[in-house]
Amino acid sequence: MPPENKEYLSLEEVAEVLGVTYQLIYRLVRTGELPASRLGKLYRVSRSDLASYLERTKREAASGGTCAACGTFYRSRSSLVHVCSEDGCEEPICFDCWNRRKVRKCARHGGK
């Protein structure tokens, strides 16, 4: 367990504190969901950024939603980070549809 007075934590320490894998923390940092500073090849996460991330995800988890392209329900809005590219449409599109399937429109506007 990292010392309580340590301001910046390694990704390994963040994973240990949260009880998750290093790979999960690394992915969160690489996608920009969890802010981190990069020093050469090493990442460091400030305790305040970690606390802000946890608070944000707690709020998002309370307000889930459904992807307008594939119909998958997500308990957290953090997976619904994109919106339909049709003018004026604000329907949410999930991370998987947007990045993996390259879907840019909701089902109503021809998304697949």
b/e sequence 9-24, b meaning 16+ C-beta within 10 Å? bbbebbbeeeeeeeee
- What tokens appear for 22 in the block? 């290093």
DSSP 96: I
The pLDDT value recorded for residue 110 is 84
The pLDDT value recorded for residue 19 is 95
The pLDDT value recorded for residue 105 is 93
pLDDT in tens, 63-96: 778 899 999 988 777 788 899 999 999 999 999 9
Q: Between 58 and 87, name the one with better pLDDT.
A: 87
The pLDDT value recorded for residue 89 is 92
Name the CA radius of gyration of the chain, rounded.
17
pLDDT in tens, 29-56: 998 889 999 999 999 999 999 999 998 8
Comparing CA positions, the residue from 30, 3, 25, 6 lying closest to residue 14 is 25
Rounded to the nearest 10 degrees, the angle between the axes of helix 11-18 and helix 22-30 is: 120
Q: Where are the chain's structural domains?
A: 8-59, 65-109
The whole model's pTM is what? Answer: 0.57
pLDDT reading at 112 higher than 70: no
Q: What distance in Å separates the CA atoms of residue 2 and residue 79, rounded to the nearest whole number?
A: 30
